[in-house]
Structure 1
Amino acid sequence: MNKKSILFFLFSVLFFTYLSSGLLIFFLNGYFSFNLFSQIANNYDLTFTYKSITRNYPRVWESIFYCFSFWSIAIGLLMYFGKNKKSLHGEARFSNKQEIEKMGLLQDKGLVVGKLDNGKLLKWKSSEFLALGAPTRSGKGVGIVIPNLMEWEESCVVLDIKQECFDFSSKYRRDILGQEVYLFNPFDFRTHRYNPLTYIDLMNETTRDNDLLDFVNLLYPADGDSTTVFFNQLAQNLFIGLAYLYRDLALTEKGQEFLKENELSLEWSMCGLLNLSAGFNLTIQNEEEEEEDTKISGLDETFEYLEHLELVSKGTKEKLESYFSIDSQNTKSGVMSSFNAPLMIYRNQPITTATAKSDFDLRDLRKKKMTIFIGITPDKLAIARPILNIFFSQLLSVNTKELPQKNPELKYTCLLLLDEFTSIGNMPILKKGVSYIAGFHLRILMIFQALSQLEAQKPDGYGKDGANTLLQNMGVKIYYTPNEFEEAEKISKRLGDTTYKAVSKSYNHGKMLEAGSSSHSVSEQRRALMLPQELMELPQSKALLMMNYQKPILCNKAFYYNDEYFISKFRQVSPYMRNIKNPTHKDWEKILQLNETNIDIPVQTMNVA
């Protein structure tokens, strides 16, 4: 029972006890004669109970006790059964403060999801996932992303489209939270490096083939029309075969001698394998002076020459057989084109450098406190999708191989803070694993602009069924003011309906001098808790929270720029902010211009091996 219910109960019991105890006094004192009602009529009034107490009438306290007991039981039962009576169309309503407290949202630790009118932050500590549906320019960065980067103390991977999150929080996460902080921006030389092939150990016969197969399924998905599937499958085989060929040359003694003699270099990277697919340009001197030197070029001639030198292993021959056995030159050219298609972007100079080696290891995210910002700018999002998809798919893959219960080194939880979630494209591993990856100490906070983005078909989205699967596995769903009616309509349906009593009145005029008559009727009607138009008119400072098995919450957004709790965190790393009591928009711009809240990032050079 809440405070209102308790007050109503006490007032009702005391009120009826006061009225009835005065009447009961007559019965308890033996006034059962025929003139009982005349006795009551002559002596009882609204002040009789008060007089009985002050004048100490016989059995007055006994009368009060009996009446108090009776009305406590009667009113309690009425409230209990009345509360459980189901309304005709539903009982949707927003949670009150007591219910919010029972949900565990008023604790000190957890992900920031909103704020109450009294300034108290709402924090979600459960291992369940979170989703935020927020249109562009609705405050998701200042209300969710940056507040949580200043609050979340364990590992984090951030899809940071504008690098705004990095600029505001990287220094705090490094200096105050004691984390290793990285920025991966493959379209700029100012970046830390990430090589996706780092996680494939070619010398490990147990895991090698499975790891290669998982990886080529990301690069060359076996879906689409039959022609696409055919060429992609052959491209997969070619990639695996070239990986084996790299092993024969770069990781064996005879292969290393060959490379050294011919002044050749190989690199275990995406660009390195792309270069290997073109073969070597070699000039072989003939022993006979009269004969011209033999020139070798292209993959076919290179492979034939390496096979002649007995540098190619049996496993490599088997892997590449499906490519070299193709008779049609057109088909062979088509396979090579399919192979090259997703790899050509790695010939971009900054990308080549950014993916040559790895400065961080995704397998360490649960072993130590790390933060990785993926700082790809909006103008590069479209062409960066394959890189993003590989990065996050690989992150999930390498971190769902071992449960924390079996390895004490896996002691931290990693938060995947995915702004513009759909920019990554469809990730099959996420759709399949969303129901179990929480058990591996991984949490997801995905942010999208509209439900229609999630429901888009592959490769952009997950389709309606896939989107429902993702959302059903989100413990908290947050919605900001929608700007499209269809989006508002979907949210309105999710909030549910409530029942209200509608009163209709009618009036009939009488004939001539006759008086008319009026009537009214009361009926229960259905109404959405919030209509679509009401949702679209919701103030920009408000947010809707929907939690599994709980009533929805209407709260405020937890803006960092006007909350002393977050401002005090910025003061720990910004000397300029320490002198500002109530920072304005210009003050926040100033600390960015002074580079007081971000860290320095190494500038890579093209000669990095």
Structure 2
Amino acid sequence: MSFTNQPTGRPQTGHDDQKKRRLIQCMAVFFLLGGVQIATQYFAYRFQYQPQLGAHFNQLYPPWSIIEWGSKWYAQYPGIFDTSMNIGMVFSAIGLIVTLVVKMVADNSVRLNSGLHGSARWANVKDIRAARLLPVKPSFFKNRFARQSLKDDYVYVGAWQDKKGTTHYLKHNGAEHVLCYAPTRSGKGVGLVIPTLLSWGQSAVITDLKGELWSVTAGWRKQYAGNKVIRFEPASSTGSACWNPLDEIRMHDGLEVGDVQNLATLIVDPDGKGLNDHWQKTSQSLLVGVILHVLYRSKHEGTVATLPLVDARLSDPERDAAELWMEMATYEHIDGANHPVIGSTARDMMDRPPEEGGSVLSTAKSYLSLYRDPLVAKNVSRSDFAIRDLMHYAQPVSLYIVTHPNDKTRLRPLVRIMANMIVRILADKLEFKDGQPVAHYKHRLLLMLDEFPSLGRLEILQESLAFIAGYGIKAYLICQDINQLKSRETGYGHDEAITSNCHIQNAFPPNRIETAEHLSKLTGQTTIFKEQITTSGKRVGMMHGNVTRTMQETQRALLTPDECLRMAGPKKDDDGLITEPGDMIIYVAGYPAIYGKQPLYFKDDVFSARAAVPAPAFSDKIARAA
């Protein structure tokens, strides 16, 4: 299917009439000046100021020269002057008659309003440049492996072909967020994710389902972009960095209670559906008290508090749970006194009937079962990096969160905890100077979250998209379709705010009609002109008696849902590997939609060279101060 012949509306309803008026005015001026010019040149010809008429013009006089010459020599050569002026007047008169005829025809012609029913159109090069997707410089690669400056840190949102067939990358380096709709195996990795990670030189957090992104991009990011590259693979026996969520709890100024409450909520709500029943709410309250108790006790004993240790305290086979409640109620947590929150939690458990208390305890322990896996327990036993290092370390930091498909579901609670803490810790304060926000970070942060709805409903992510751009955080969110995003069970519901806070939305050919309808509405309505011809006369006659042509404006979607579903997808070989790019659409708020092409990193020599840099065998580590 081709969109080159799609009708394009214009926002100015009288644009065509203005062009006709300007044309008629230009014709009138042309014929008036032309008459004077012809009179001047004829007079010059008669006096041999230039070669004979019909030869080449090596002398062209200004049109007003005939007036100057008449003031000097009219008395001597009145006949030649009159002849010259008559010739000029005849030319102007004929031209003005032609102009009048054109004006009458234009006034009597059908006047079509190209924006009557809608003015949607496909973006041209001026629109794309205005949307800041085409940089002023033709190529932003100054050196294949050179460290880039801040202004050269782009994310890739697609590609676009001009009228000559030349493909241009569409890149964005603003603070606004990007949302992509890309079904499985549509080419989003080779077209958007990998090119972005092979050009963005600042810090990044990447959800890497299969470890592919680490293999292709970590080498260049470490060796040539100057990044610390950290691979966090919780279920791996070797090669993974360690991260302990309890190390991020701020144990001062009373902040520990709020931090632990947020953490406990994430633990007992692994799907983001909210605390909907009594057992979730009571187990969350229990975990708050136990985690705080483990933190203070480990602090006093000089040991490390971890989530596996919390589970061990709750599941200790050598002592009864009542002993733990008594310890929590009598332990001297702060300056020889019992912590009020921990003491209250212990009293609540002691006051519950044995049956209810046992149910609350078993519910809390069920949410900690993940940390009984020895591999996961090992990888959360200490911290080889801190969340603040992502934006405040001396070098940019790239954090790859690797969860293989068979471990994806069970590791989701831990990944949700990390994502929540990244947003909450890095967007905690904003400083101002002279009424303007001041960047208190060393590096911008890109959140490259592939299939982010699979993490469940992260309320803090939805709410924070409206303001985290001011903290130097840019989100690049990828989902399969609009249903995955708006799902009431696993997504953000029909009243979601994700799309509202994403300045750029791009889409590969969709598989679901709901996504196609959404994209069609984003593209808009346009006005097309329908011609109707009516004939009269005998059916068997040689000629029709009368032929009537009628032009009518009507409305249609610039991109209908079925056209969206039939967009050209990428071509693949027998092994399912992409060989040729397909089509895609890019939407930028406030600008016409862009009908583009999918970029492919392996078709680009620069990207291919960067992807060939081998990934490091081991994850980097950032030493933490005591």
Which band: TM-score by shorter chain?
0.7 to 0.9
Contact 1:267–1:273, Cα closer than 8 Å, also in 2: no
CA distance in 2, matches of 1:512, 1:437: 75
User: Are 1:502 and 2:530 an aligned pair?
Assistant: yes
Please tell me whether residue 471 in structure 1 is matched to residue 471 in structure 2: no
Partner of 1:353: 378
**Relative to structure 1, is the Cα distance of residues 22 and 437 closer, same or farther in structure 2, using a 3 angstrom cutoff?**
closer
1:566 is aligned to 2:612: no
Give how far 1:22 is off: 5.6
TM-score scaled by structure 2?
0.73
* 2:132 paired residue number: 104
CA distance in 2, matches of 1:224, 1:52: 81
CA–CA distance in 2 between the matches of 1:153 and 1:230?
Answer: 47
TM superposition shift of 1:433: 1.5
The answer for the alignment partner of 1:445 in structure 2 is 476
Secondary structure, aligned partner of 1:362 = coil
Seen in structure 2, the aligned counterparts of structure 1 residues 330 and 227 have a Cα distance that, compared at 3 Å, is farther
Are residues 52 and 443 of structure 1, via their aligned partners in 2, closer, same or farther at CA, if it must alter by over 3 Å?
A: closer
Q: Distance in 2 between matches of 1:184 and 1:61?
A: 86
In the TM superposition, residue 304 of structure 1 has moved relative to its aligned partner by 3.8
Task: Say whether 1:157 aligns with 2:186.
Answer: no
What letter is aligned with 2:603? Answer: N
2:247 maps to amino acid? T
Q: CA deviation at 1:402?
A: 2.0
Q: Quote the Cα distance in structure 2 between the aligned partners of 1:352 and 1:227.
A: 26
Q: Deviations along 1:377-429, whole A, 9 cap, x unmatched?
A: 12222222211211111110101112265876512110000111111110011
Letter in 2 for 1:314: N
Residue 276 of structure 1: aligned partner? 313
Distance in 1 between residues matched to 2:275 and 2:118, nearest whole Å: 53
1:419 aligns to what?
450
Gaps of 5+ in 2: 1-9, 11-15, 41-59, 67-83, 141-151, 570-581, 622-626
The residue number in structure 1 matching 2:338 is 314
Q: Which runs of 5+ in 1 are unaligned?
A: 29-49, 257-265, 282-296, 574-596, 605-609
1:7-35 deviation line (CA, Å, top 9, x unaligned) = 9999877655445556789999xxxxxxx
Aligned to 1:592: none
Q: Is 2:570 the partner of 1:543?
A: no
Q: Give 1:210's match in structure 2, choosing from 242, 258, 276.
A: 258
Q: CA deviation at 1:115?
A: 2.1
SS of residue paired to 2:198: helix
How far residue 483 of structure 1 moved from its aligned partner, in angstroms, is 1.9
CA distance, structure 2, for counterparts of residue 485 and residue 307 of structure 1: 58
Q: Is the 8 A contact 1:234 1:323 kept in 2?
A: no
Q: Report the CA distance between 1:313 and its aligned residue.
A: 4.7
CA contact (8 A) 2:439 2:471 kept: no
8 Å CA contact 1:201–1:208 kept in 2: the answer is: yes
Aligned match for 2:492, one of 462, 472, 476: 462
Say yes or no: does 1:116 pair with 2:160. yes
Partner SS state of residue 89, structure 1? coil
CA spacing shift, 1:60–1:346, aligned 2, 3 Å:
farther
Residue in 2 aligned with 1:385? 412
Correspondence for 1:344 among 349, 356, 369: 369
CA gap of 1:248–1:417, structure 2 versus 1, over 3 A, is closer
1:161 and 1:241, CA in 2 relative to 1: closer, same or farther beyond 3 A? same
Deviation at 1:569, TM superposition (A): 2.9
Give SS of 2:391's match: coil
Tell me which residue corresponds to 2:45: none
- Does residue 600 of structure 1 match 2:626? no
Q: Which residue of 1 aligns with 2:246?
A: 197
* TM-score normalised according to structure 1 size: 0.75
Q: CA contact under 8 A between 1:223 and 1:229: conserved in structure 2?
A: no
Name the CA distance, whole Å, in 2 between partners of 1:439 and 1:219.
Answer: 29
Aligned mates of 1:321, 1:422 — CA distance in 2: 39
Name the structure where helix makes up a greater proportion of residues: 1
Q: CA deviation at 1:527?
A: 1.1
Other structure's SS at 1:523 match: strand
1:147 aligns with 2:175: no
In structure 2, relative to structure 1, the CA distance for the partners of 1:306 and 1:376 (3 Å cut) is closer
Q: Secondary structure at the match of 1:546?
A: strand
Q: Distance in 2 between matches of 1:306 and 1:155?
A: 41
Distance 1:339 1:101, change over 3 A: same
CA distance in 1, matches of 2:390, 2:401: 15
**Alignment coverage as a number of residue pairs:** 515
Superposed CA RMSD: 4.1
Query: CA offsets, 1:495-546, max 9 Å, x none?
Result: 0111011112333454998965443322111111112222222222222110
CA distance in 2, matches of 1:208, 1:130: 34
Query: Does the CA contact (< 8 Å) of 1:456 and 1:464 recur in 2?
Result: yes
Go from structure 1 to structure 2 and tell me whether the alpha carbon gap of 1:247 and 1:464 turns closer, same or farther (over 3 Å shift).
Answer: closer
Q: 1:223 to 1:138 in 2, by over 3 A?
A: closer
CA contact (8 A) 2:113 2:553 kept: no
Aligned to 2:320: 298
Superposed displacement of residue 238, structure 1: 1.5
Q: Which residue of 99, 116, 137 maps to 2:185?
A: 137
Alpha-carbon distance, 1:91 to partner: 1.1
Work out the CA distance in 2 between the residues paired with 1:383 and 1:412: 32
Give secondary structure in 2 for the equivalent of 1:389: helix
Distance across 1 between alignment mates of 2:157 and 2:567: 17
1:342 is displaced (CA, Å) by 1.8
Q: In 2, distance between residues paired with 1:19 and 1:500?
A: 36
Of the structure 1 ranges 190-199 and 111-120, higher mean CA displacement relative to structure 2 is found in: 111-120
Rounded to whole Å, the distance in 2 between the matches of 1:242 and 1:478 is 45
CA distance change for structure 1 residues 603 and 158 in 2, over 3 Å: closer, same or farther?
closer
How far is 1:432 from its partner? 1.6
Is the Cα–Cα contact under 8 Å of residues 457 and 463 in structure 1 kept in the other structure? yes
Task: Judge conservation of contact 2:304–2:382 (CA < 8 Å) in 1.
Answer: no
Kindly provide the amino acid, as one letter, of the partner of residue 257 in structure 2.
Answer: D
Would you say the 8 A contact 2:533–2:548 is kept in 1? yes
Contact 1:404 1:441 in 2 (8 A): no
Q: Distance in 2 between matches of 1:205 and 1:280?
A: 35
Distance 1:421 1:565 in 2: 29
**How many Å separate the matches in 1 of 2:327 and 2:134?**
71
Q: Please, which of 536, 541, 550 is the counterpart of residue 521 of structure 1?
A: 550
Offset at 1:322?
A: 1.1
1:493: how far off? 1.5
The within-5 A match list for 1:208-287 is 208-221=256-269, 228-252=276-300, 267-279=304-316, 281=318
The aligned amino acid for 1:115 is: A
Match of 1:41 in 2: none
